[in-house]
Chain A
């Protein structure tokens, strides 16, 4: 139970969890409540956690772990149209939130108010449940897939390190309501030190200045986050000793630029996914990963070890850090009969290293956010002038990839009268109305036809 870890005597005073505007002392978190003392009412229940910011979300997670039977953590960009199906899929029977209308008009569920600052809580609510942590991941149709983890699995990659001479100050560009950010939060809570949360409303320069002011020592993000930081003069405000990237393919350019910016830092990249958990770290300063990591993985599973294999080009992982299953009835099995999770990340061996070459199924990774082409195509295909479309990734040095679309029109002659520019704008307007900016195609090209395979499916390139 997370809370008990914070409540033990070894927690030094002064450890903080910093939001953009306020902070919470971890010792207060161990003995406080953000639920107005109503935690006991949530014992054994299935709880949806929907917070307006990361600090409130983090506090709720700590409070609920060990008490709720299940907690489903809403990501910041949750599409409210999916709330009803999420609640049904996860069997939710209570909601904790600091929002005025967390269910967007849905009724029938009990809502518990979350509020900071924490209030002291005297009665120790009996915990000890192995709470299911449910994370959201992107699905083909836009409805999120719900992935079940345990705290044990989520923290499987966190070593109980001896207390360092200087307590680490953890920071991340990620949101802690997604897998990558949650990993950093759990490290900060369990492995000592403080943490500085990011905030979507804060400018990159202000975030870097705040990280610098609070003395960040361990900082992580996607390569795209780091490229943006490298383009911000305020990067001079920080001097982390430990720099880490994950969530996207890491290229040599960003590794070399970070080495030049932080010559004395340990710079590494890691592979993890919401489903497979934390896979491995690469600390030799080079892109890709040593093939030996895959070869060394044969044999029976041992606690703490991550085994890997490459099947038809896709990286598969087996470890106790993986999620156990999807809650969605229509989702495929998350773990196969041998216990492996198929990542869908396609790799290619060059010499003694593997390199990531794209995603199976054409999934596009824009700055660490996954885009399913089918979701975007469905929006484009609803446009009355469109017969069919193909959405794919185009490589990009700033965000790794951007989304582009090829569109076949119903009646090209009629389209000529309206004009291609007007038609393009009309299709894009439909996309902007329904899709997040990173999912909206940056470019739309009109083509006479699209290649369809023998099985009748669109031929998708590797994204």
Chain B
């Protein structure tokens, strides 16, 4: 599964378990407008860490907070690519 697909699947699961309504995801969508709150994103980052094996927020040297869904996916893709180069 692509990183994007993993993220989309996890967001759907978290929305269901937290009783939130997820809006259709597009790259331009502002993350905090997607229907999930900060706590949901906190859970998302933890579940993605378990599933993908890394957390780009903690791994990254530069402080960065993605604003759109596209930024978020790209942040994880960059994190995965950095790991595969390091390996």
- A227 touching B17 in the complex, CB below 8 Å, given contacts A257-B64, A442-B46: no
Q: Which residues of A contact B27 (CB under 8 A)?
A: none
Q: Which of A229-237, A289-297, A384-392 contacts B (4 or more CB under 8 A)?
A: A229-237
- Are B38 and A253 neighbours in the complex by a CB distance under 8 Å? no
- Shortest CB-to-CB span from B14 to chain A, Å, is 9
Let me know if A402 is at the binding interface, CB within 8 A. yes
- A402 touching B66 in the complex, CB below 8 Å, given contacts A204-B32, A437-B39: no
Other-chain contact of A398, B17, B18, B33, B45 (Cβ < 8 Å): B45
- Shortest CB-to-CB span from A221 to chain B, Å, is 12
Instruction: Give the bracket for the number of chain B residues in contact with chain A.
Output: 20 to 34
- Are B43 and A402 neighbours in the complex by a CB distance under 8 Å? yes
Let me know if A242 is at the binding interface, CB within 8 A. no
- Are B32 and A232 neighbours in the complex by a CB distance under 8 Å? yes
| Assembled-state Cα–Cα distance A399/B44 (Å) | 11
Let me know if A79 is at the binding interface, CB within 8 A. no
- A402 touching B30 in the complex, CB below 8 Å, given contacts A231-B66, A231-B67, A397-B57: no
Other-chain contact of A402, B31, B32, B42, B57 (Cβ < 8 Å): B42
| Assembled-state Cα–Cα distance A254/B31 (Å) | 18
- A252 touching B39 in the complex, CB below 8 Å, given contacts A396-B45, A437-B18: no
| Assembled-state Cα–Cα distance A204/B38 (Å) | 10
A244-279, CB < 8 A from B: 252-257, 260
- Are A396 and B42 neighbours in the complex by a CB distance under 8 Å? yes
| Assembled-state Cα–Cα distance A442/B37 (Å) | 14
- Shortest CB-to-CB span from A43 to chain B, Å, is 43
Other-chain contact of A231, B18, B55, B58, B65 (Cβ < 8 Å): B65
Other-chain contact of A438, B39, B57, B62 (Cβ < 8 Å): B39
Q: Which residues of A contact B31 (CB under 8 A)?
A: 231
A346-379, CB < 8 A from B: 366-367
Q: Which residues of A contact B43 (CB under 8 A)?
A: 402, 442-443
Q: Which residues of B contact A45 (CB under 8 A)?
A: none
Let me know if B63 is at the binding interface, CB within 8 A. yes
Q: Which residues of A contact B67 (CB under 8 A)?
A: 231-233
Q: Which residues of B contact A260 (CB under 8 A)?
A: 63
- Are B63 and A256 neighbours in the complex by a CB distance under 8 Å? yes
- Are A227 and B46 neighbours in the complex by a CB distance under 8 Å? no
- Shortest CB-to-CB span from B25 to chain A, Å, is 15
- Shortest CB-to-CB span from B45 to chain A, Å, is 6
- Shortest CB-to-CB span from A250 to chain B, Å, is 12
A394-422, CB < 8 A from B: 394-399, 402, 404
Other-chain contact of B39, A231, A254, A257, A367 (Cβ < 8 Å): A367
Q: Which residues of B contact A395 (CB under 8 A)?
A: 58
- A398 touching B63 in the complex, CB below 8 Å, given contacts A205-B33, A231-B32, A437-B18: no
- Are B38 and A228 neighbours in the complex by a CB distance under 8 Å? yes
| Assembled-state Cα–Cα distance A230/B57 (Å) | 14
| Assembled-state Cα–Cα distance A437/B39 (Å) | 8
| Assembled-state Cα–Cα distance A423/B62 (Å) | 40
In the complex formed, the residue of A with least CB distance to B62 is A256
| Assembled-state Cα–Cα distance A404/B50 (Å) | 13
Q: Which residues of B contact A204 (CB under 8 A)?
A: 32
- A232 touching B30 in the complex, CB below 8 Å, given contacts A227-B65, A257-B63: yes
Candidate in A205, A252, A253, A397 with the most chain B CB atoms within 10 angstroms = A397
In the complex formed, the residue of A with least CB distance to B41 is A398
Other-chain contact of B65, A257, A367, A399, A428 (Cβ < 8 Å): A257
- Are B42 and A398 neighbours in the complex by a CB distance under 8 Å? yes
The 7 residue pairs across chains A and B that have the minimum distance between CB atoms: A397-B57, A253-B63, A398-B42, A399-B42, A230-B65, A257-B63, A442-B43
A-B contacts, 6 listed (Cβ < 8 Å): A228-B38, A233-B67, A252-B63, A257-B63, A398-B41, A399-B39
A-B contacts besides A205-B33, A366-B42, 4 pairs, CB < 8 Å:
A231-B66, A232-B32, A255-B63, A442-B42
